[in-house]
Amino acid sequence: MTITQTQTRSLLGLKDLSQNEIQSILDRAAFWEQHANKTHNLLNGKFVANMFFENSTRTRTSFEVAEKRLGAEVINFSAASSSVEKGESIYDTVRTLESMGIDMGIIRLKPIGLLAEMAPKIKVPLINAGDGNNEHPTQALLDLYTMQKHFGSLKGLNVAIIGDILHSRVARSNLYALRQFGANVMFCAPDDMQAKDLDVQYVSMDEAIKADVVMMLRVQLERHSSGLLKSADTYRASYGLTVERANQMANHAIIMHPAPVNRDVEIDSDLVEAANSKIFPQMANGVPIRMAVIERALV
C-alpha cells in the first residue's frame, strides 16, 4: 500500500471528507446492516489492533464486533497494560505494533493534534476512535446514519446539539459532516462550555428543543480543569432534557445522545428509552458503520 493509499484509506476526521465520500460509507453500512450472515471471511488473515490510550467501552467493543464480523484477527491494547505506562511514547507504541505486522490500527488518544502529526509516519491505515476534543468521525457517521435512516434525508434537517460543546469531539465531527449534507446545525451550551473556535449559532434551550433532532451531550467531568459544573441539579434545570421539555418537542422529532449517559443530569432517565429516543439504535448502528469504515481501509 502506497503512502497516498494509506492516507486515503485512513479516517482521521470528517472535516475534509466530501459528501460523496461520507454517503458511500453510509450506503455500505446499510449493506452490512441488511446482510443476513453475522460473520464473513472478507478480512481473513488481516490483523487489526485496537489501540486505546484513553478509556472506552462502547467504541472499543463496537469496533471489535465489527472487526470480528468481517473475519479479522483482533488485537486489543489498552494504555493501562502497555509500555506507555513505563514512559514509552504513543508514537513508538504504534510503530512497534506496525513493525509486528498489523494491517490497520484503531486508535483513541487524549493529546490533541498528535494523531494528525503521527499518521503520515505510519504505513498502515489508522482509524480515529476519538482524539482529544478534536474529532470522533465514526460516532458522527453513525449519528448521520441514524438520522438519515429515520428522516430519509439530511438536507434541511434542523439539528440542535446541546451540552458540553467545549470538550466534545462528537459535536465537531457532526458539525462538519452535517453541513456537507445541507443540514442546519445549532449549538446550545452554558457560556463556559461553548467552543469559541467554531463558527456556529448558539441558541437558547427553548429554541433548541424545537429542532428535528435534539442531540444531548454528556457533561465530560473528566476533561474539566476546574468546576465548570456547579451542581447536577443546576445543570439539569438549565440545560437538561427534562420530561417537561421533551413534551414540547415536535411530534416527529427524535432524541439522540452519543452515550454514556449521565441519567437525570443532561437527560432524564425516563427519556433514555422513550419512543422517540434513538440512543440505543445509535449504538446498534455503530457496528455496520464501523464495518464499512474498516472495509474501506483494508479491501
* Exposed/middle/buried for residue 237 (C-beta within 10 Å: 0-12, 13-18, 19+): exposed
Summarised one tens digit per residue, pLDDT across range 187-203 is 999 999 999 999 999 99
Per the DSSP assignment, residues forming a β-bridge with 125 are none
In the chain, what percentage of residues exceed pLDDT 90? 86
Question: Residues annotated as binding site?
Answer: 58-59, 86, 108, 136, 139, 169, 218, 259-260
Cell of 115: 494523531
* pLDDT confidence bin for 228, thresholds 50/70/90: low
Least confident range of 95-99, 174-178, 221-225: 221-225
The dihedral formed by the CA atoms of 174, 260, 26 and 181, expressed in degrees to the nearest 10: -20
The Cα-based distances of 3 to 81, 119, 185, 212, 277 in angstroms read 31, 10, 35, 41, 42
Q: pLDDT at position 145, please? A: 98
* Exposed/middle/buried for residue 4 (C-beta within 10 Å: 0-12, 13-18, 19+): exposed
Q: What is the mean pLDDT of residues 170-185?
A: 98
For residues 109 and 78, the answer to whether their CB atoms sit within 8 Å is no
Q: Please report where in the chains the cell 437525570 appears, as a residue.
A: 264
Question: Residues annotated as binding site for carbamoyl phosphate?
Answer: 58-59, 108, 136, 139, 259-260
Beta strands (DSSP E) in the chain are: 47-52, 73-78, 104-109, 126-131, 158-162, 184-188, 201-202, 213-216, 254-256
Give the span between the Cα atoms of 107 and 250, in whole angstroms.
38
Summarised one tens digit per residue, pLDDT across range 100-157 is 999 999 999 999 899 999 999 999 999 999 999 999 999 999 999 999 999 999 999 9
Q: pLDDT at position 229, please? A: 66
Rg of the chain over Cα atoms, rounded to whole angstroms, equals: 19
**Which one, of 84, 74, 92, lies nearest residue 53 by Cα?**
84
Give the span between the Cα atoms of 13 and 129, in whole angstroms.
10
Question: Residues annotated as binding site for L-aspartate?
Answer: 86, 169, 218
| 128: alpha, beta or left? (left if phi > 0; alpha if psi -120 to 50) | beta
